[in-house]
Structure 1
Amino acid sequence: MSSETFDLAVPSDIRVGAGRVAEAPDVLTGWGARRVLLVTGRSPDRAAPLVAALAERGLDVSTFAVPGEPTIDVVREGTAAAAGHDAVVGFGGGSALDVAKAVAVLAVSGADPLVHLEVIGEGRPITGPGLPCLAVPTTAGTGSEVTRNAVLAGDGVKASLRSPWLLPRVAIVDPDLLTGLPAATVAASGMDALAQVIEPFLSRRANPFTDALARDGIVRSARSLRPAFTDGMQDAGVRADLAVASLFGGLCLANAGLGAVHAFAAALGARSGAPHGAVCAAVLAPALAVNLRAVRERGSHETLLRLTELAVLLTGAVDAEPEDVADWVGDQTRALQIPGLATHGLADADTAEVVAAAQRASSMRGNPLDLTDDEVAEILARAR
């Protein structure tokens, strides 16, 4: 399954470590920036120390808050807000980072998002660099600080802007920024990050680079996600584990693809308004169970070996079996109090439409084998 022929796309400068957000002013002044657009989550309050640090260095900072999941209209508003600025900083979860990356590129090209958006737009290539972009994640989930796409909602689906030009110029991953996250955010974002090391490990596009990162990320997530949920990220080692696991997930998905879990996230996120991480968290165990059965029926021996190794990585038991994967993830889902998809308004009547949308999603191409519509519908039913 792991290919010896592959390409890698990563930011040129990734900085990891506690307290390293303090390097942001040096990064921006090193670029010669004077006016900075700071893209945050719903509330810019968490960014107040960064705003103060940038102001102390003489930088003129404007803020733009992303109220929820990123949409085409939000990116349009952010692009307008970026006029006259010479750098963009994304500070927040995946929504803030995706909007920051999109705004940085579109502020220079002047194009509407639909010109470049896949699936529901024209899908034209992005042909040149945008404003320099610094990405600073404050949740341990999407890994958006190191990916070359920005996921936007519109027309009832989620689709991507995708280009190497969307890679942030610098990513700062500071585990201390995770301190005090709400338990529900820890759970949903952490399960998203876990999915983003598991799916690339099982992907048809897996390669030695992503395999190495995925193996390490799976172990880090497996040992630290539940303690993080319990103690609110108070332990420095737990914070570091989840920050690195999320980073590795971003690098893995950008270079090996994903699978059915994220196909559902694309199909359901815009339709239901459910947070991306919440959808991934609800779908992960059912998707693993259905995939295993399909692999046993018609998949490759190599994929089955991968699932066996995954069971060992998750459980720590050298005699673990492939069936232990979905069981372990299901136990984790319950311990983290992850709600089912019905909580987000998914009704039985939506099944056919959601299945069709998931099958069309680009992430489904990385799934370890093709799933039938009935199998996709079964995942959906189990995730309710």
Structure 2
Amino acid sequence: MRFSYLSPSALHFGRGQRHQTVELARTYGATILIVHGSNAARAQWLLSAFEGAGLNPDTVACHNEPSLPQIEEAVAQFRSHPPDVVIGLGGGSVMDSAKALAALIPSSGPVLAYLEGVGEGRALEHPPIPMIALPTTAGTGSEVTKNAVVAVPDQGVKVSLRDPRMIPDAAIIDPDLMQGAPRTVALAAGLDAVTQVIEPYLTLKANPMTDALAAAAIPEGLGALRKVVESDSAEAWDKLAWVSTCGGLALANAGLGAVHGFAGVIGGQTGAPHGEVCGTLLPAVLRSHLAHAEAGTEIARRVAWVNDRIEEQFEGGIGGLAQWSRDMGLRGLGAMGLSPDQYHNIAEKSGKASSMKGNPFTLSNAELVEILAASA
């Protein structure tokens, strides 16, 4: 047995934990950059807290999923006077933006050079600026992962900037920042959280540490998902926030699979939210696993166990989860703007994605197209 396990230096979980952000940030220095979402009012509590401590942070607004032009602009703005610490306050897109800026502001080369797939995948020459992550959605787990996803609009793809040192120095997971999200946001984020504990459990690179996290989180996540979306339950939000963090830790150390292999390509083509794409693809990918798994093998046992956990929460199992998701407002790929004549190209690009390497089965282009068609 041989594996490595990476995680933040500190993880603070629970309601009210956000109130220690200012004192934690001051341990890194007095020059602070806060990356927040498009609604600046949602960051006002943090800005006011810093002002009350006699500090005046710089801010960057992330209006949508981070793109190469946006990251280039912000990096150029701060390279001459880098902050002592970067704080990300928002959903997965904000986390990725903050992680990218913390990594690239100290670097000397053009942003494109450090991106996988479309650039050189160049290693970072300098350690990232210390970063504190404050997620406001329970989904991506980006607060504990080692990469940032960046859209490259002129090529219609999303690619990763990746380095083990990009794991935030501190993650503060406070469900008070998450509860009350619109149903569409809660649904997409929750399905992403569930997907990101299922895929690491089924990946070729699973290990005992990630198995322990995923096996505990999968049933909790499936149960919490319904209650968060249907009733905005406080207890369910606490559980889903924990599941999301477990998913981030698991995927950072074991990788993912076909759902995420597709997701970056489809997100780049359509601009659809990452969690919505993942939630739409998950049922068809799981059915593909069931069809490929040979009786008596370890992967067959794992896939069957996941299917049983889904059946405990959704009548009809995988089909029941898919129908419930649609009933709650999840769009299919067609409604996201993907047409059948794009399937072959999407399949070809997705087959080369890094996440696809962890899928428990090698899938042909024709099989990948079948998954897309089943997710329309």
* TM beyond 0.5: yes
1:347 aligns with 2:329: no
| Cα displacement string for residues 148-182 of structure 1 (whole angstroms, at most 9, x for unaligned residues) | 00011112111111101211111100011112100
| Cα displacement string for residues 278-306 of structure 1 (whole angstroms, at most 9, x for unaligned residues) | 1111111111112211224xx87111100
Pairwise CA distance, 1:45: 1.5
Aligned to 1:157: 157
Cα separation, 2, equivalents of 1:315 and 1:77: 47
**Which residues of 2 match residues 1-384 of structure 1 at below 5 A?**
4-31=1-28, 33-83=29-79, 84=81, 85-154=83-152, 155-231=155-231, 233=232, 235-296=233-294, 301-316=297-312, 325-384=317-376
Secondary structure of the residue aligned to 1:108 is coil
Unaligned runs of 5+ in 1: none
Q: CA RMSD in A?
A: 1.7
Cα separation, 2, equivalents of 1:160 and 1:313: 31
The amino acid of 1:202's aligned partner reads L
Cα separation, 2, equivalents of 1:309 and 1:324: 15
Secondary structure of the residue aligned to 2:88 is strand
The amino acid of 1:217's aligned partner reads A
Q: 1:315 to 1:61 in 2, by over 3 A?
A: same
- 8 Å CA contact 2:131–2:170 kept in 1: the answer is yes
Cα separation, 2, equivalents of 1:278 and 1:295: 26
Cα separation, 2, equivalents of 1:29 and 1:188: 34
Secondary structure of the residue aligned to 2:196 is helix
Cα separation, 1, equivalents of 2:6 and 2:324: 32
Pairwise CA distance, 1:324: 6.2
- 8 Å CA contact 1:37–1:82 kept in 2: the answer is no
Cα separation, 1, equivalents of 2:178 and 2:311: 25
Q: 1:156 to 1:281 in 2, by over 3 A?
A: same
Secondary structure of the residue aligned to 1:344 is coil
Pairwise CA distance, 1:275: 1.1
Unaligned runs of 5+ in 2: none
- 8 Å CA contact 2:310–2:318 kept in 1: the answer is no
Q: 1:127 to 1:95 in 2, by over 3 A?
A: same
The amino acid of 2:166's aligned partner reads L
Moved more, 300-309 or 262-271: 300-309
- 8 Å CA contact 1:34–1:58 kept in 2: the answer is no
| Alignment coverage as a number of residue pairs | 372
TM-score by length of 2: 0.95
- 8 Å CA contact 2:280–2:322 kept in 1: the answer is no
Pairwise CA distance, 1:371: 0.8
Cα separation, 1, equivalents of 2:192 and 2:124: 28
- 8 Å CA contact 2:281–2:371 kept in 1: the answer is yes
The amino acid of 2:268's aligned partner reads A
| Cα displacement string for residues 24-70 of structure 1 (whole angstroms, at most 9, x for unaligned residues) | 00111112x21211111222211110111111112211221111111
TM-score by length of 1: 0.93
- 8 Å CA contact 1:128–1:165 kept in 2: the answer is no
Q: 1:300 to 1:116 in 2, by over 3 A?
A: farther
